């Protein structure tokens, strides 16, 4: 389930097809079964994101750290990129398409424990780690 953490863009290009297959379809992550009130991609989330992450010129701000959440907690991440990309939350298989300049909010319930990577698939950047206890 670790597919891109730390790898560079060149490797990403070579492995893009394999990685996409290994990570599963992102588009289905918007409607996880059992989360009846999961928001698909609401432009204005009704809850405050746990983190606001920006990608610009291939850099992540704030620098990738670790977000600590409790199991069963609802997690909302906001990601904005200066280029088209895809966000993927490992372990939960949620994410979505990034449109340049438009914040994407990814919301899901952290229903399992572990440390999971949140990353972009096109640029292969680690956005943050999610530690669920």
The binder of Cu ion chosen from 3, 55, 79, 132 (CB under 5 A): 3
Of the pair 50, 91, the CB lying nearest Cu ion is at 91
The binder of Cu ion chosen from 29, 77, 86, 88 (CB under 5 A): 88
The binder of Cu ion chosen from 12, 23, 94, 125 (CB under 5 A): 23
Residue 131 three-state SS? strand
Q: Does 26 interact with Cu ion (rule: CB under 5 A)?
A: no
Q: How many residues bind Cu ion (CB under 5 A)?
A: 3
DSSP 56-119: ETTEEESPP-EEEE-TTEEEEEEEEESS-EEEEETTTTEEEEEPTT--EEEEEEE-S-EEEEEE
Contact 106, 94 (CB under 8 A): yes
Residue of this chain nearest to Cu ion (CB atom): 88
User: Where do contacts with Cu ion occur on this chain (CB under 5 A)?
Assistant: 3, 23, 88
């Amino acid at each position: 389930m670790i597919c891109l953490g730390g790898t560079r863009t060149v490797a990403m290009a070579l492995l893009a097809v394999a990685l996409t297959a290994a990570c599963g379809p992102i588009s289905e992550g918007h409607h996880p079964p059992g989360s009846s009130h999961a928001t698909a991609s609401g432009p204005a989330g009704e809850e405050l994101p746990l983190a606001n992450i920006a990608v610009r010129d291939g850099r992540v701000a704030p620098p990738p750290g670790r977000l600590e959440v409790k199991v069963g907690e609802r997690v909302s991440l906001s990601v904005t990129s200066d280029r088209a990309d895809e966000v993927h939350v490992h372990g939960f298989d949620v994410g979505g398409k990034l449109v340049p300049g438009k914040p994407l909010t990814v919301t899901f319930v952290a229903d399992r424990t572990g440390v999971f990577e949140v990353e972009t698939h096109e640029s292969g950047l680690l956005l943050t780690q999610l530690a669920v206890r």
